Amino acid sequence: MKLASVDALDALKAKPGRVCPLVCNFGFKADGDQCAKITCRAGYRVGDDNECEKIPEKKPVATPDDSRKRDVERRKTEAAPSKPQASGQMVCNNAGCRPVRAGCHIQGFSPALQAKGINGTAGANVEVCN
């Protein structure tokens, strides 16, 4: 067994700072007499060598299954019959207003008949269904 000499121990005691290097855990670096957490800017992370490295972009990879599903969905949409569209016409009466029903249209009366209130029209148009 080797023992340190008294002179060597006195030399170490006389040193004001650290004698051995500071060893820090992964993700930390020596900062003076302490270990400080390594922080990286956005888009970077601490790599295996304890240095900041750019995070690789993950680009979506299309698989043959994805394109088949997309084609099937497109064919369903294209083959589906179109839905009947509302005419945009409204019919109003004493109860309020509502859209004209499918297959119907609005028929107006002459101003003379409307003024007399024939068939309860009281100046309004009437919905006529065939």
pLDDT band at 47 (very low <50, low <70, confident <90, very high): very high
The number of domains in the chain is: 2
Residue 111 placed within a domain: yes
- Give the tens place of pLDDT for each residue, 70-122: 888 888 777 766 665 556 778 787 777 888 888 888 877 656 555 555 555 45
- Res 64: pLDDT: 67
Residue 59 placed within a domain: no
Domain that holds residue 27: 8-54
pLDDT band at 60 (very low <50, low <70, confident <90, very high): confident
- DSSP, collapsed to helix, strand or coil, labels residue 58 as coil
- Give the tens place of pLDDT for each residue, 19-44: 788 899 999 999 988 899 999 999 99
Residue 12 placed within a domain: yes
What is the rounded CA–CA span in Å between residue 128 and residue 104? 6
Segment 7-25 shows an average pLDDT of 85
- Res 93: pLDDT: 75
- Res 42: pLDDT: 93
Residue 49 placed within a domain: yes
What is the rounded CA–CA span in Å between residue 9 and residue 13? 6
Residue 21 placed within a domain: yes
Is the distance from CB of 117 to CB of 85 less than 8 angstroms?
A: no
The first and second tokens of residue 118, run together, are 């024939």
Residue 75 placed within a domain: no
Residue 65 placed within a domain: no
Residue 32 placed within a domain: yes
